[in-house]
């Protein structure tokens, strides 16, 4: 593969970590973004370097535009380009409507929606010049299913699906593809935080009868990033063991 650089947001843990390692195993240089967990991000960088590619850890709260722009400057300075952006950093903060605090609402919108726009904008500025690039947005099956308590999370992920389709049409003339993935329940800290009885209940609703693995999600992201997916753009691809059927 010709040398390519990927930036994965929220790559210190969970899905982002798995995606960063998968892309490194395929030969990408990788920028590992994190918010607060520098020790874990450094460990991911060490694993990635074991594949003989270049990697850096780069701190930025994706919900802060100035931090995002500084992160992109660092990545281009250190790794030379941005060919693939994986917009992955996200939070879930479930609450019933009447229990929803303004702070929690703002935080979810800032990270899960504005953060994706800030990163897409900064990446596109670099990809325009190269006339190629791939942006993969990590959405959620919650954008397609109604789960009580998830109105904010579902709304942020629904916004990402719409953003993906529209940006795909805007950016296609510049050789940039934009896709989203919508995972179901994947074995990460985010799902570990769910109450046991909720997890057991959700498991009964998954036709494949198990959680998905980070590696299974990373394989899909790697495919969408690659030239094997050169005719796919604007799609939100569900990866949920059949949960949403």
Has 116 been annotated as catalytic?
no
Q: How many CA atoms lie within 13 A of 228 on its CB side?
A: 9
Burial of residue 179 (CB within 10 Å: 0-12, 13-18, 19+) is buried
Tell me which stretch binds ligand NAP (CB under 6 A): 29-37, 94-102, 119-127, 163-171. Answer: 29-37
Binding ligand NAP by CB under 6 A: which of 28, 72, 118, 185? Answer: 185
Q: Which of 51, 153, 202, 231 is catalytic?
A: 153
- CB of residue 116 vs ligand NAP: minimum separation in angstroms? 9
The two beta strands, 84-87 and 5-8, are parallel
Q: Rule CB under 6 A: is residue 159 a binding residue for ligand NAP? A: no
Helix locations, the chain, DSSP H: 14-25, 38-49, 65-79, 102-108, 115-130, 151-171, 189-192, 196-204, 214-225
Closer CB to ligand NAP, residue 144 or residue 177?
144
Selected binder of ligand NAP within 37, 93, 121, 219 (CB under 6 A) = 37
Give the total of residues touching ligand NAP (CB under 6 A). 32
Q: Say whether residue 186 binds ligand NAP (CB under 6 A).
A: yes
Q: Which residues bind ligand NAP (CB under 6 A)?
A: 9-16, 33-37, 40, 61-63, 88-92, 111, 138, 140, 183, 185-186, 188-191
Residues classed as catalytic: 153
């Amino acid at each position: 593969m010709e040398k390519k650089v990927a930036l994965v947001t929220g790559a210190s843990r969970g899905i982002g970590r798995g995606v960063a390692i998968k892309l490194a195993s395929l030969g990408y240089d990788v920028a590992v973004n994190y918010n607060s967990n520098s020790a874990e991000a450094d460990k991911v960088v060490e694993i990635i370097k074991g594949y003989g590619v270049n990697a850096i850890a780069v701190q930025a709260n994706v919900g802060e535009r100035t931090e995002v722009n500084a992160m992109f400057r660092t990545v281009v300075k250190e790794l030379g380009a941005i060919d693939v952006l994986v917009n992955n950093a996200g939070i879930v903060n479930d609450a019933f409507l009447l229990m929803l605090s303004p702070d929690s609402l703002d935080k979810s919108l800032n990270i899960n929606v504005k953060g994706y726009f800030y990163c897409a904008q900064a990446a596109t500025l670099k990809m325009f010049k190269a006339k190629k690039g791939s942006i993969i947005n990590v959405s959620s099956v919650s954008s397609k299913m109604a789960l009580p308590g998830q109105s904010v999370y579902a709304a942020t992920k629904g916004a990402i699906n719409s953003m993906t389709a529209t940006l795909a049409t805007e950016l296609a003339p510049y050789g940039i593809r934009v896709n989203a993935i919508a995972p179901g329940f994947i074995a990460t800290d985010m799902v570990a935080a769910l109450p046991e009885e909720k997890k057991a209940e959700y498991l009964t609703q998954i036709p494949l009868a198990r959680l998905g693995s980070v590696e299974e999600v990373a394989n899909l992201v790697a495919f969408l990033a690659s030239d094997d997916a050169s005719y796919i753009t604007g799609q939100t691809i569900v990866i949920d063991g059949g949960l949403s059927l």
